[in-house]
Each structure stands twice: as structure tokens, then as C-alpha cells.
Amino acid sequence: MSRKTSKASRQKSPKAAADRKPQLPAVLPVTSDADDREQHPYATLDRGAMASLARMTGGVSPHAMLDAWGDWAMHLARAPGRQLELMERARDNWFKLAQFAAQGASGKDGKKPFTPGTYDTRWSHEGWDRPPFALWQQGFLATQDWWQAATSDLRGLRKQNAERTGFIMRQLLDTVSPSNFPLANPEIIEATWKSAGRNLIDGAQHYADDAQRVLTQEHRPVPEEFALGKTLAATPGEVVFRNDLMELIQYSPSTEQVHAEPVLIVPAWIMKYYILDLSPHNSFIRWLVGQGHTVFCISWRNPGAEHAELSLEDYRLKGIMQALDVIGDIVPGARVHANGYCLGGTLLAIAAAAMARDHDDRLASVTLMAAQVDFAEAGELLLFLDESQVAFLEDLMWSQGYLDRPQMSGAFAAIRSEDLIWSRAVRRYYLGEPDLPTDIEVWVNDTTRMPARMHSEYLRGVFLENRITAGRFAIEGRVIALKDIAVPMFVVATETDHIAPWRSVYKTALFTDCDQTFVLTKGGHNTGILSEPGHPRRHYRISYRPAGAHYQGPNRWLAAHEPQPGSWWPEWAEWLTSQSGDLVAPPAMPDAGLGKAPGSYVLQP
């Protein structure tokens, strides 16, 4: 095949695929009178009103929150036993506080009866151990403890409503934390005294700058010291293909020989791909190239209003399937090791199941990193999702064509508000400390948008209705089954992941029958994946399950596997090598004329 022919085939392959098989939505529509209602002018008025309200509430449905409060209040009102229990807890907390205050008044160092949560860094200053600050801190934590008990599970109360009510109360309590007030926070008082108030002047400037960016919705640019292509996303490579949805990057080899089977990385579209190609010392892609692999990576476009009708199926066809077509041209006859991260892993699992169903054998293995296929236990993000909330977001996206950055990042920050919102606000606005960016913080702030149709299909079909594992997710008019995947799988979960909880990721083993290696590593959704060799204080657990073996629950699995020190990356490299072919000369990199890595899509604001 000539180079010219090869390029032409790449450009035509999505259309050719559409000619071969009808393109049907992944979430099959059900026609009803409600569909006709959606076209009525009154319905348009309703959606416009809801979209306006959604902009004011940050995309959070007031009805969903009021429903949670009503459900909780009615069940608590008819539970005299729980009421007595809460009265006793209030009494006990008050006595603990009184005893602690008495010890402090008499000059004794009493043990604090209440301790902050794992992620709560607001109380790290030593001043919180001195009166009266220690008593104020303990009073706040005692109140927080009582509300946590008050919003815990109650017979007959929907679990989601209990968790949602507790979440709301945590947010409300955080607004009145003594750490937020200059005269009640010993760290602010000390900093103001030492700097003669300079910290407050600097903080006011930081606040004015942040307020301007929020009001104008201005995207904060990547700092020059973290320039993309120079410091971050700097692994050498070429853009070998581009369509209206993604760029495909092929990375230059760094070894004289490479494994015959290439690797395709499918990142999440909710953020930019270079989380896997950060600084040279912790770049997952650079490290993988150094292990002797030919690496390709998808870089998703940052969509705008004109891309509102892009579907989840478009991301599969124009993303993963198109990338496999291109790789097949560059490395003819070689099967591909596919690696999906976060939502990219979910999409990869869908694509792999569809390929297995259709006897498409181009995959050599599948690796899923912090990616879920079942969403029944999807963690704290479920707090933001029910029918009311999804409809609310759909109206918001209907009006603007996409889900914007602040409407997504706010939800993630609220889950860890004590650290990601309030601690940062105190440091920046009262202590006057500038945000000193790190490579991962630069990536976190470099957010993207999501097309309205695709995100709606994802929220409803994948997240809310959990169709993948329920046998109700259709590709090209026919349902898929994860158990059809026969290639070896490597699944990675992280211990403190609040986006893809590890027990939810572990359930991949429940819905597949293939040969599978499972790793549980220290860290969160991002930091656990970025666990390069040499990173201090890292550990992981690993297990192997042969094809067809019986399922073992996550708690039994955890008890049976001891942590091992170090990074999980070498384990994956050894596994990947065992699944790969012989060493060969690196494949030629086509001259597509599309520019060098990291490409143009990653630079889109």
C-alpha cells in the first residue's frame, strides 16, 4: 500500500464503516408522547427557564436537594429511637466539650475528643492546640460529628438521600468553620502580625484576580514554566492523523528495537491527555516508550457549541476504531495493546466488547486504569446524579451545546471542599500565598468541555441506568456483553479514589471471564496512576485470575493480598512484555504533515 493510498484510507474509514453498518445511538431511544412534548413551544420555555436556573446554581438541581431534605426529615420524624439516639449524642458531645474546656481553663493539656477527617488540612497549624482556638475547633468538629450521625442511614430512607443530605450539611457547616474567619484563625492572626497586614493586601489582590476570571469565564493559561511541548507533554512524537474529534500521536522510539505489537492509549475526554505525559520524570508515556514499545495516544478535541450533536458512538467510531485503522496502516498485521484511563477506559471496554462480539481480533490485550464498567457503586459522584439532576444538566447543555469547565470542576472540588475550596481560599485570600503551580495542578486547571448529546448519553445510559453491565447497552443496534472479551486484561485501581472507587473498579472481575491481573495501588484517581519508579512511599497489591476462575469479593481479596513496596509500573511492563511479540526494528513514522507532538487539539482553550 502506498503512503498516498494509506492516508486516503484513513480519511475514508469512518465513512466506510458507516456504509457497512447503520449507525445507531449507544443508548437506544424510546419514542413516546414525551418526545412530542419536547418539541412543543411550552417545553422549550420550560427548558429555557431550567437552563437559566442551572446557570445560577452551578448545574445543581434545587429539586433534587429539596427532595433529599424532605425524605430525610419525614423519616427522622417517624423514628423516635433515632431521635433519642441523637439527643444522647448531643448530650455526650456537649459533656466532652465541657470537660475539654475545663481542662484547658485549669491549665491542663487535655486530649482532644474530636479529630478532623483525613483530607481536612485546615487545622494543621499549631495554634489550633492553644486556647481559645482549640475549643472553637472542637466545637465545630463536635457539631460536624452530630450532623454526620443525624444524616446516616435510616430504615426506609433512600441511601442516596441520606448521603446527599449529609453532603449538603458538610457544605453548609464548612461555610461557618472558625478557620474561615481572620479573628478566629490563629494562623491568619500570626501571619498578619508578622507581615504587618501585607498578607491581607496580597490576598485582596488574589481575590480580585480570581473574581475577574470567574465573572468573565476567562480560561487561565498554562504558565510559561509549564509550557506544553516544552516542559509538559514533551515526549517527542508526530501527529499521524487528525479528524474533527481527535488527533492521533505516534511517539518516537527511544530504543534500537521495539516490541512488535504497539500500544494505544485512550485518555478521558473530560480532561486533556497529558496527565499521562507530564514532566519528563513522571511521564507515563515517556517511560513506556523507554521500555521498548511503539506508543500511540489519542488527543481529544476540546468541543464547542458547534459539536453539540457529537454522540458517545462518535467517540467510539471516530476515536478508538479510527485509531486502530490508522495503526493498522502504520504497523500492518500487528495486534494492539489498548490502554484506557478513566472515562477512556470505560469507552475502551465498550469498544472491546463490541469488537469481541463482531469477531474483530485486532486487540492483543486491554488495560483499564481507574476505569469503571459498573456504576452501581460509583462513589460520591452519585450524589450529583438522579433523574432530576440529569434532566437539569440536559437543559443546561441544551441551551449552550456543551457542559462547561466550571460546571464540572465545581462538582469535583465540592467532594473535597474542606481542602480544595476552603483551605485554598484561606491560604490565597487571608495568608496572601500565591498559587505555586505543579505539573499536575496545571493539568487540573486545563479543563475541557463535553458535547451535550454525548454527555447526556453517558450520564443516562452508562452512569444513571448502568446499562453496560445490565446487558442493555447497544452498539449498532445490538447489545454488548463484557464477558465476550477474551483477551488478557490488566486492571488498575487506586486506594483513595473518590471518582472511581477501587471496589467499583474491582467489579470488572465480576462481569468478565478472561485472564485478568488486578492491581490496587496507593494514591488517588490521578496520583495513584502517576506512580513512577522511585516515587517515595508507594506500594501496591497485585493478583492474577486465570480465565474462568470463580469470583472473589473485594474485601476477601484485600485481606488475602499484602501490599508490596514500590511502583506498579514495572509490574505492568513485565505483564505487557509477556503479552507482546518479538523485538523488531521500530516502524517507520509516516510523514502526515500534521505537526509534532503534542499536536494542536491539546492547545485549544
| pLDDT average, residue stretch 88-104 | 94
Strands 516-521 and 489-494 turn out to be parallel
| pLDDT average, residue stretch 41-70 | 78
The phi-psi region of residue 501 (left if phi > 0; otherwise alpha if psi is between -120 and 50; otherwise beta) is beta
**Residue 503 dihedral angles phi and psi, to the nearest 5°:** -65, -30
Tell whether 71 is covered by a domain. Answer: no
Instruction: Kindly tell me the sign of the dihedral angle through the C-alpha atoms of 335, 341, 555, 385.
Output: negative
Tell whether 581 is covered by a domain. Answer: yes
Q: How crowded is the C-beta side of 78, counted as CA atoms within 13 Å?
A: 9
Active site residues: 342
Decide: 394 and 27 in contact? Cβ < 8 Å: no
Element (H, E) at 204: helix 198-216
pLDDT tens sequence across 307-344: 999 999 999 999 999 999 999 999 999 999 999 999 99
Instruction: Kindly tell me the sign of the dihedral angle through the C-alpha atoms of 433, 437, 441, 447.
Output: positive
The Cα angle at residue 571 between residues 568 and 577, in degrees rounded to 5:
140
Helix, strand or coil, per DSSP, at residue 195: helix
- Domain ranges, residue 506: 248-376+466-597
Alpha helices in 435-533 (DSSP H): 439-445, 452-457, 467-470, 502-506, 508-511
Query: Residue 553 — pLDDT band, cuts 50, 70, 90?
Result: very high
- Least confidently predicted of 86-90, 174-178, 445-449: 445-449
Please give the tally of structural domains in the chain. Answer: 1
pLDDT tens sequence across 107-130: 777 789 999 987 788 999 999 999
Tell whether 579 is covered by a domain. Answer: yes
pLDDT of residue 17: 41
Q: Which amino acid is at 353?
A: A
Tell whether 501 is covered by a domain. Answer: yes
Q: How far is CA 305 from CA 343, 392, 402, 403, 460, in A?
A: 21, 18, 6, 10, 21
Which of 250, 220, 287 has its CA nearest to residue 532?
A: 287
pLDDT-above-90 percentage for the chain? 65
Nine cell digits for residue 302? 476540546
The Cα angle at residue 23 between residues 17 and 27, in degrees rounded to 5:
140
| pLDDT over threshold 90, residue 563 | yes
Model confidence, pTM: 0.85
Element (H, E) at 494: strand 489-494
CA distance 321 to 327: 10
Instruction: Kindly tell me the sign of the dihedral angle through the C-alpha atoms of 148, 149, 150, 156.
Output: positive
Buried b (16+ CB within 10 A) or exposed e, 399-415: bbbbbbbebbbebbebb
Decide: 521 and 558 in contact? Cβ < 8 Å: no
- Least confidently predicted of 32-46, 133-147, 475-489: 32-46
CA distance 444 to 594: 27
Tell whether 141 is covered by a domain. Answer: no
| pLDDT average, residue stretch 419-446 | 85
pLDDT of residue 233: 97
Q: When comparing pLDDT for 10 and 171, which is higher?
A: 171
| pLDDT average, residue stretch 538-545 | 97
**Residue 3 dihedral angles phi and psi, to the nearest 5°:** -65, -40
pLDDT of residue 405: 59
Tell whether 428 is covered by a domain. Answer: no
| pLDDT average, residue stretch 174-191 | 94
Query: Residue 46 — pLDDT band, cuts 50, 70, 90?
Result: confident
| pLDDT over threshold 60, residue 252 | yes
Tell whether 407 is covered by a domain. Answer: no
| pLDDT average, residue stretch 561-587 | 95
pLDDT of residue 406: 59
Which of 155, 133, 137, 157 has its CA nearest to residue 145?
A: 137
| pLDDT over threshold 60, residue 12 | no
CA distance 537 to 376: 32
Tell whether 266 is covered by a domain. Answer: yes
Query: Residue 412 — pLDDT band, cuts 50, 70, 90?
Result: low
**DSSP string covering 131-147, please?**
TTHHHHHHHHHHHHHHH
Which of 248, 263, 233 has its CA nearest to residue 490?
A: 263
pLDDT tens sequence across 283-301: 999 999 999 999 999 999 9
CA distance 466 to 472: 8
Strands 246-251 and 237-242 turn out to be antiparallel
CA distance 541 to 531: 13
Strands 489-494 and 258-259 turn out to be unpaired
Decide: 578 and 335 in contact? Cβ < 8 Å: no
pLDDT of residue 512: 96
Decide: 369 and 527 in contact? Cβ < 8 Å: no
Cis peptide leading into 434, omega within 30 of 0? no
The CB-based long-range contact list for 175-182 (8 Å cut-off, 24+ gap) reads 176/140, 177/122, 177/140, 177/422, 178/133, 178/136, 178/137, 178/140, 179/122, 179/123, 179/137, 179/422, 179/423, 179/426, 180/422, 180/425, 180/426, 182/430
pLDDT of residue 14: 40
Instruction: Kindly tell me the sign of the dihedral angle through the C-alpha atoms of 493, 496, 499, 502.
Output: positive
| pLDDT over threshold 80, residue 507 | yes
Residue with cell 492521533: 248
pLDDT of residue 414: 56
Query: Residue 9 — pLDDT band, cuts 50, 70, 90?
Result: very low
Instruction: List the CATH number of the domain containing 525.
Output: 3.40.50.1820
pLDDT of residue 2: 38
Q: Which amino acid is at 288?
A: L
Q: When comparing pLDDT for 548 and 218, which is higher?
A: 548
Nine cell digits for residue 247? 488527533
| pLDDT over threshold 70, residue 468 | yes
